[in-house]
Chains A and B, each alone.
Chain A
């Protein structure tokens, strides 16, 4: 692949998703796009770049973006945020009237493991009036998240076996999330760079391991947009390697909790 082709594909992905592909990602482009090239009978990445110049190839542009921005996921990924969530949820619940529906947003939800992990915790805590909203750029993963059907490999990543037998049903070689958990969740296709105001307010937002692919101005913009949807005493979870420092002044770290952030100036940010 020549550098022009790389720049063209990277430019397309950046424009559509905000995700920055640095030149060292050439190998990733090749491996991730190989199935698409085969499926579309496109002989090379250079040929693909040429095809993408035509603005009418919307579905191809979408497929390329999805192939390059979809990330692996696991249940209860990184553990710690979920331990914090277990302590936080009862307190948030108690601070709200019973009629208030707790709302949790799994932004960049991938195939749904994060959203369903939250659903499991809510159920184990006996919190019923709650909903989880999952969103992702990729139509394909949103559909998979909605199905809630996972391979044997996927259900063994991060999920203790007791939770597997309690919250999943076996369907042939796959495992499907129980109807109770699925009823608590909703999934939609959504670009993190879009206007999120119509989503309303969330008590908790997860947006982990996706901002790392954005350039600093975009990171700041997305963080501000997420902060705008967060309840005054709510918490935003970012990935362990991510920070708000120098990117936004609307969010501050929750003391002693890696990856947890509260609104700046919020009283009693939950620790």
Chain B
């Protein structure tokens, strides 16, 4: 492995951010946190991460607004954006994908789900274990 994968975890729940951080750091990722979309956008401007793990429902700026703003500012391919939300309606998923999200996790998540998605995104090798 070369440089550590940089990752921004965006969620208004500190508990969820910590849970995500634990999983990502075990894979050697470098993790920053933000509690809403506005702060996440600031963090991206400071330094663009490889991956943003993004909650939907947050105060100030929600996940979808962040997603649209990030795609407008940084283009379609980077950073990789993976929703991670209790929103599990088909239409919501399609909306996020149409707005340029690469992946989508329906909460609750566990290590196996997150690790599997990281493999699918090409951020981890096939043999990565949850």
Residue numbers of A with Cβ under 8 A of B are: 74, 78-80, 152-153, 156-158, 160-162, 164-165, 169-170, 173
Give the residues from 67 to 94 in chain B that come closer than 8 angstroms, CB to CB, to chain A. 88-90, 93-94
Residue numbers of B with Cβ under 8 A of A are: 88-90, 93-94, 97, 103-106, 109-110, 112-113, 116-117, 119-120, 126
**Residues of chain A within 8 A of B103, CB atoms compared:** 160-161
**Residues of chain A within 8 A of B97, CB atoms compared:** 161-162, 165
Task: Let me know if B93 and A78 touch, CB within 8 A.
Answer: no
**Residues of chain B within 8 A of A156, CB atoms compared:** 105-106, 109, 113, 116-117
Contact of A79 among B93, B110, B126 (CB under 8 A): B126
Task: Let me know if B89 and A152 touch, CB within 8 A.
Answer: no
**Residues of chain B within 8 A of A153, CB atoms compared:** 110, 113
**Residues of chain B within 8 A of A158, CB atoms compared:** 116
Complex Cα–Cα for A157 and B89 (A): 18
- Give chain A nearest CB distance to B45 CB in angstroms: 27
Task: Let me know if B93 and A161 touch, CB within 8 A.
Answer: yes
Question: Could you count the A-B residue pairs with CB atoms below 8 Å apart for me: how many are there?
Answer: 35
Residue of A at shortest CB range from B114?
A: A156
Q: Given A78-B126, A156-B109, A170-B89, does the pair A161, B116 have CB atoms closer than 8 Å?
A: no
**Given contacts A80-B126, A161-B104, could you give 11 more A-B pairs where the C-beta distance is less than 8 Å?**
A153-B110, A156-B105, A156-B106, A156-B116, A157-B112, A157-B116, A158-B116, A161-B93, A164-B93, A165-B90, A170-B90
Complex Cα–Cα for A164 and B120 (A): 13
B105, B110, B116: which has the most chain A beta carbons within 10 Å?
B116
Task: Let me know if B104 and A79 touch, CB within 8 A.
Answer: no
Complex Cα–Cα for A173 and B105 (A): 14
Task: Let me know if A152 and B106 touch, CB within 8 A.
Answer: yes
**Residues of chain A within 8 A of B116, CB atoms compared:** 74, 156-158
Complex Cα–Cα for A158 and B115 (A): 10
Task: Let me know if A165 and B94 touch, CB within 8 A.
Answer: yes
- Give chain B nearest CB distance to A213 CB in angstroms: 21
Residue of A at shortest CB range from B89?
A: A170
Complex Cα–Cα for A169 and B89 (A): 10
Contact of B119 among A79, A165, A169, A173 (CB under 8 A): A79
Task: Let me know if A165 and B93 touch, CB within 8 A.
Answer: yes
- Give chain B nearest CB distance to A166 CB in angstroms: 10
Complex Cα–Cα for A34 and B94 (A): 41
**Residues of chain A within 8 A of B89, CB atoms compared:** 170
**Residues of chain B within 8 A of A164, CB atoms compared:** 93
Complex Cα–Cα for A156 and B113 (A): 6
**Residues of chain B within 8 A of A79, CB atoms compared:** 119, 126
Complex Cα–Cα for A196 and B93 (A): 43
24 A/B residue pairs, CB under 8 Å, sorted by A: A74-B116, A78-B126, A79-B119, A79-B126, A80-B126, A152-B88, A152-B106, A153-B110, A153-B113, A156-B105, A156-B106, A156-B113, A156-B116, A157-B112, A157-B116, A158-B116, A160-B103, A161-B97, A161-B104, A162-B97, A164-B93, A165-B97, A169-B90, A170-B89
